[in-house]
Amino acid sequence: MDRMLVVVFDNEAKAYEGKKALQQLDNEGSLSVYAYAVLAKNADGTTSIKQGDDVGPLGTLLGTSMGSLIGLLGGPAGVALGATLGFGAGSAADIDNARIGDDFITDITKQLTPSKVAVVAEIDEDWTTPVDTRMEQIGGTVYRRALSEARKTSNEEEVAAMRADLAQMKAEHAKAHADRKAKLQEKINQLDSKIQDQLQKAKERREAAQRQAQAKAQVLKAKAAAAKAKAS
């Protein structure tokens, strides 16, 4: 099952130990790790991703579920965090793209207090015991949540409602007096802009989901090839 995993540690050293344990579990075949990062909550309340090789095999986190989760966990520090990752905080902090409930975000935010460090990963696991046992031995607090399907219905309904409003405004515009036409046209332009923005965001989410699926397939293909080579 595809899941988002967050393990909170008291310090950076333990977090890197936790990251190493997660990689070992992947090598052992206990799970598949699609992407991972080490996220630190600084003493001043800002949030940052530690440098090094901490961005996992999915490469850039732009548009991914994990990138969105990290943006949400960044909170007020999202601007700096976004710069580190290569995208803006606004695009990162999207609960729909994260594909997890806001209660999950709340639980982690309460635990990830200043000076603590978390390992954030998108994984595929069938059995929770291997991760839980290994992380508890290191001193980590484990949070996990199954990833939901990308939300479509609510966005489609919102666009449909805006289009209905747009059609009504255009009908009124056609019958309006000259002094009213300008005001209606301004509202029409604003609403049409919002519709186009929603459609563009939906397109970006679809494309990101496709890229993510392709990247995951490549990860699994590479693992299968490595296992075959080892067995021969």
Pick the most confident of 117-121, 171-175, 215-219.
117-121
Q: How far apart are CA 103 and CA 92, in angstroms?
A: 17
My answer on whether 131 and 231 are in the same domain is no
Q: Which of 103, 133, 148 is the last residue of a domain?
A: 148
> pLDDT at position 141, please?
92
In this predicted structure, the answer to whether residue 63 has a pLDDT above a threshold of 60 is: no
My answer on whether 37 and 92 are in the same domain is yes
My answer on whether 95 and 171 are in the same domain is no
> pLDDT at position 92, please?
38
pTM higher than 0.85: no
My answer on whether 46 and 143 are in the same domain is yes
My answer on whether 141 and 164 are in the same domain is no
Can you read off the two tokens belonging to residue 131? 């991760």
> pLDDT at position 205, please?
73
Share of residues in the chain with pLDDT > 70 (%) = 81
What is the span of the domain harbouring residue 171?
149-232
Contact call for residues 56 and 35 (beta carbons, < 8 A): yes
With tokens 């939906």, the residue in question is 202
Choice among 1-5, 63-67, 140-144 with the minimum mean pLDDT: 63-67
Q: Which of 125, 148, 171 is the last residue of a domain?
A: 148
* Closest to 72 in 3D by CA, of 37, 38, 104: 104
My answer on whether 104 and 141 are in the same domain is yes
Q: Total structural domains in the chain?
A: 2
Residues with Cβ within 8 Å of 24's Cβ and at least 6 positions away in sequence, in order, are: 134
Q: How many alpha carbons lie under 13 Å from residue 47 in its C-beta half-sphere? A: 23
Q: Which of 148, 179, 210 is the last residue of a domain?
A: 148
Q: What is the pLDDT of residues 197-232, one digit of tens each?
A: 888 877 877 777 777 778 778 877 887 888 788 777
My answer on whether 72 and 110 are in the same domain is yes
Q: How far apart are CA 60 and CA 176, in angstroms?
A: 51
My answer on whether 154 and 201 are in the same domain is yes
Q: What is the pLDDT of residues 88-103, one digit of tens each?
A: 344 434 666 677 777 7
Q: What is the pLDDT of residues 179-192, one digit of tens each?
A: 778 888 988 898 89
Contact call for residues 125 and 135 (beta carbons, < 8 A): no
In this predicted structure, the answer to whether residue 73 has a pLDDT above a threshold of 60 is: yes
Residues 26-44, mean pLDDT to the nearest whole number: 87
